Structure 1
C-alpha cells in the first residue's frame, strides 16, 4: 500500500486538521502544508488550519504567501494542547515538538511528513525520507496518487518549492524531484513562477549581505562571518548562499543577532563536511541546530551573553568570539588565511 493511502484512512476519521509549519516557514514547508490541506478537503475534512510562528520576512516567502493566497494563521500553543479528540495535528517539513517550532515538547503528533534528518520522530503516520530533496516532492507524489484536483495555485506552489529547496535542482536533488517537476510543469503558471523567482530585495537585506562580506574570515575553504544585529533574519541564508560562490570557499557559515536570539545559517559543497552535523556538534548544548549535509541552520538564545554587555557593539563582540571559537573547534580549523 502506498503511504498516502494510510494517511487517507487516518484523515477520513477526523473532523479537523491542524497543520503546523516550522518557525519562519519557507516555500517547501508552506507548499507542503498547502497541499496537505487540499488532501484534507478531498477526503472530507470540513475544517483545516495552517499555522505558523516566527516571521515570514524573506521577500520571496512573502510573495509566495500573497500570490499563492495561502490562508495562514498565527500559531497558538493553547489551541494545540486543547484541541478536541477528533482533531489531528500534522507537521510538514519538520518533525519533533519543540524543535524549530513552538509546539510544547511532549505534545502528541498525529502526522509527520518530512525530509530532514531526525531519529526521534513519533506519530501515528510518519513519512520520513531523508534521501528526498524536498518535502514538496513527497506531497506531489501524494496528490498524484490520490488524483487530487490540480489548479495553477497548487501546481505553482509545489513546483516553486521544489526548485527553491534544491537551489534550481543543484542541491540535494534526486530523480524524484525531476519526476515531480516534470508532472507539475503542466499544472503550473509560468508567469507566476517567474514573478516568485525574482522578488524585489529590500535595502536592509542588501546591507546585511554586504556586512557578511565585510566581516568574513577564511580558514582553508571555510568562511565564517558574523553580521551583528539585524532585523533581516532571512538575509542570513541569502548571505551564506552568496558567500559559497566566492573563489576557494566551499563552506560558508553566517550568524547574527535577530531579536533575542543568535540565528545561524550554513552552506557547504565540501564532500568531507556534513554541515548539519557540524552545527549540531557546535551548538546543540546551548541551542538548536542541524540540517542536511549541504544546508543547515540553528538558533542560540542570547541568554547569558546579554548579561555581560551594555550595548550591541560590546554584546556582539562577545557573541562573535564565542560562536567563531565553537565553529573553529568543531571544524578543527587551523591558521587563518587572507580574507
Structure 2
C-alpha cells in the first residue's frame, strides 16, 4: 500500500509481489499455525484473523490462531468474544501437525514472544523495527516499520488477492489499525489512512462501540489508584512503577492514561507479571518512536 513499503526487507515493490512470494512459501501446505506475540493486542488479533481469511480464501489452507500468554485487557477480551475469534494457547496445541508456522505482529527473538524449542516460523509479518529478532533462515519476511499497524499490511494483502474481507474480519482489522495508531494520530502512514477508510464501511460499528466500551472489573479501578500513588513527574516525563500486576496489558493501559497528564511528553510505565518485568513507553511527540526508545 502507498506509504507503507516493505522497507526493512526491501524485497518487494508492491503487495502483489509480496503476496506472490507468500503463496510460494505456502505451496503444498494444507494447514498453518498463526502465532501472535504472547499477549496479543487488537492489531495482532486483527492481523492474525485476516491472514487466516486470506489463506483459507485464496489458498484453501486451514489456519489455527494461537498465542503464548493471555488476553488480559478488557477491550481485547471483548474483541475476541464479540467477533467469535478462536485463539488457542500455544502450549495446548504445539506439537500438532502444521504445514507452515507464521508469526503475525511478532518476530522470533523479540522480547514479547517466547517460542517453544524447535518451533521455527516460515513466515514473519510485522511492522515493528525489532533489532533483537533472529530472522535467519526464515523464507518469507515482510517487516514494514513505516506502517502504523500490521493490520494495514494484511489489508493490502487482501486487496492484492482480490478478496473483500467479511464484516468480522474488516471489524478486526479496522480496530487493529485504530488501536495501534490511536485513531490515526500516532505513527500513521498514508497507507494506514487508506486502509482505515477502506475498512470503515465494511466494519460493524455497533460491535466496535461495544469493544471500545467494554466493562472492566473492580481490579481495574484499583489499579488506577495504585498507579497514581506510584507515579512521579520529572519535568515532562512521567514514570510509574505498578509493581505486581494482575494482567500484563495493565502497564500499557496505565501508560495510555498517564500520557493525558498536563505537560507530559513521555510516559514510562512498568510492572511485574509472573516474575517478568513489563515496560510500556508512550509519547505524544509525533516524530519520536517509543519502540526505538525501549530497544535502546
TM bracket (short chain)? 0.7 to 0.9
Match of 2:4 in 1: none
Q: How does 1:46-85 map to 2 (within 5 A)?
A: 46-76=61-91, 79=94, 83=97
How far apart in 1 are the matches of 2:289 and 2:187? 12
How far apart in 2 are the matches of 1:62 and 1:145? 30
Kept in 2, the 8 Å contact 1:209–1:238? The answer is no
How far apart in 2 are the matches of 1:18 and 1:230? 30
Match of 2:39 in 1: 24
Q: How does 1:182-201 map to 2 (within 5 A)?
A: 182-201=197-216
Change (3 A) 1:147 1:273: closer
- Counterpart pick for 2:167 among 135, 140, 152: 152
Deviation at 1:12, TM superposition (A): 3.5
Match of 1:209 in 2: 224
How far apart in 2 are the matches of 1:173 and 1:149? 23
TM-score by length of 1: 0.76
Kept in 2, the 8 Å contact 1:19–1:48? The answer is yes
User: Is 2:268 the counterpart of 1:253?
Assistant: yes
Match of 1:112 in 2: 124
Q: How many residues align structurally?
A: 278
Kept in 2, the 8 Å contact 1:95–1:112? The answer is yes
Deviation at 1:273, TM superposition (A): 5.8
Match of 1:42 in 2: 57
1:77-128 Cα deviation digits (max 9, x unpaired): 8835x746xx111001011146422214674321111000124433211111
Match of 1:94 in 2: 106
Deviation at 1:246, TM superposition (A): 0.8
How far apart in 2 are the matches of 1:195 and 1:243? 24
TM-score by length of 2: 0.87
Match of 2:194 in 1: 179
Match of 1:325 in 2: none
- Gaps spanning 5+ residues in structure 2: where? 1-15
Change (3 A) 1:11 1:43: farther
Kept in 1, the 8 Å contact 2:187–2:286? The answer is no
- Gaps spanning 5+ residues in structure 1: where? 282-339
Deviation at 1:247, TM superposition (A): 1.3
Kept in 1, the 8 Å contact 2:226–2:242? The answer is yes
How far apart in 2 are the matches of 1:30 and 1:13? 26
1:219-256 Cα deviation digits (max 9, x unpaired): 12111111222213322211111111111211111112
Kept in 1, the 8 Å contact 2:230–2:242? The answer is yes
Q: Which has the higher contact order (CA 8 A, sep 6+)?
A: 2
Deviation at 1:277, TM superposition (A): 3.6
Kept in 2, the 8 Å contact 1:98–1:105? The answer is no
Match of 1:103 in 2: 115
Match of 1:304 in 2: none
Match of 1:219 in 2: 234
